[in-house]
Amino acid sequence: MTLEKTKISEQIQICESFLSVSSPNHEKQRQMLVVRDYLMCLLEPKKFSVDHCENLRRLSLEYGVDGHTDLKEWILRSRGDVVLLHGRFPEKIQEVRIADIPLCDPNNEGNWMGWTKGKLEEKGYTVTCPVIIDVWKAPYQQWKEELDRLTINENATLVGLSAGGYALLRYLGETGKKVKKVILVAPGAPGMDRNNGPKLPNEDEFYTYQITPRLKSQIQKQIVIFVSNDESFILRAVEMYGEVLDAHVIKLKNMGHFSFLIKELPELLNEIVS
């Protein structure tokens, strides 16, 4: 076998490996089937009609693949970026500033958000956990500026905790950007008072954007919400999102408001990669 045909055979094996573990309904699997058959045409052209091979070649090129494409890199690129956005912490916890508590850093692998980031990176994903400085008093514009720095496109998956979930929805609504998936974890929402509790600075300004069904057209997959035994205003918010956005709600036991004291969240990891 020539060197060129050996390379094509190796590419076909990559296709077969991917197809053996991917979901039958996964768009990338459907593309990979076309790519595999196109490579088989290149390997043994006499077994297929010219028209059939030409059609497969055209489709493969539309997917960004030709006979020389590195398929491993192509698969990784198709996964898209993942953004994990934390919520609004208070200024201090037990008189210690949030900035001085390592576990409050969303990139810290000692909490579930940093743990999720690490696990995704092991699988080849590009993951960002932006940090909103002085988040307890940050206006929405500050959140937007951080999100503007990120790669948010039709291949992206966005995950937001509490106020971070609302910030992501507001960002999509106001920018019109489209993404692959949105996952909300115990999300906050406008008009959901804190059971008459104290508000954080700029909270009213932060929640001025109204959530409408139009957002669904910007998100390819059904929105998913994780919730547990949380405060009643969070549960009301989850109910609202379920109704307005037709979100799929996943209830977990004994997670409260998904504090960063929780070390792992495998249910979230599985939802991101599914």
Q: pLDDT, tens digit, for every residue of 15-69?
A: 888 777 665 556 677 888 888 898 899 888 888 888 888 988 888 888 778 777 7
Q: Which amino acid is at 146?
A: E
pLDDT at 149: 93
pLDDT at 77: 62
pLDDT at 124: 75
From CA 206, how far away is CA 218, in angstroms rounded? Answer: 21
Residue where a domain terminates, one of 12, 42, 75: 75
pLDDT at 22: 62
Residues 201, 204, 205, 210, CA torsion sign? positive
- Residues 97-117: tens digit of each pLDDT: 877 788 889 999 999 999 999
Taking residue 103's Cβ as centre, other Cβ atoms within 10 Å add up to 13
Q: Are residues 132 and 146 in the same domain?
A: yes
Q: Which domain holds residue 213?
A: 80-273
From CA 71, how far away is CA 155, in angstroms rounded? Answer: 17
pLDDT at 95: 81
Q: Which residue matches tokens 């792992």? A: 264
Q: Are residues 155 and 168 in the same domain?
A: yes
Cβ 253 vs Cβ 228: under 8 Å: yes
Q: Are residues 120 and 220 in the same domain?
A: yes
Cβ 193 vs Cβ 237: under 8 Å: no
Q: Note the residue count of the chain.
A: 274
**Alpha carbon distance, N-terminus to C-terminus of the chain:** 38
Q: Which two tokens stand for residue 272?
A: 């991101």
Question: Backbone phi, then psi, for 54, in 5-degree steps?
Answer: -65, -40
pLDDT at 129: 96
Q: Are residues 86 and 71 in the same domain?
A: no
How wide is the angle at C-alpha 129 spanned by C-alphas 124 and 134, nearest 5°?
Answer: 170
To the nearest 10°, report the CA torsion of 237, 243, 249, 253.
40
3-state secondary structure of 32: helix
pLDDT at 186: 96
From CA 96, how far away is CA 270, in angstroms rounded? Answer: 34
Count of domains observed in the chain: 2
Q: Are residues 60 and 84 in the same domain?
A: no
pLDDT at 93: 79
124 sits in the region (left: phi over 0; alpha: psi -120 to 50; else beta) called: left
pLDDT at 196: 60
Residues of the chain with pLDDT under 50: none
Cβ 226 vs Cβ 250: under 8 Å: yes
pLDDT at 26: 61
Contacts of 144 (CB under 8 A, 6+ apart): 171, 174
Q: Are residues 167 and 261 in the same domain?
A: yes
Question: Most distant CA pair in the chain: distance in Å?
Answer: 76
Q: Are residues 122 and 249 in the same domain?
A: yes
Q: Are residues 49 and 161 in the same domain?
A: no
Q: Are residues 150 and 228 in the same domain?
A: yes
Cβ 161 vs Cβ 87: under 8 Å: yes
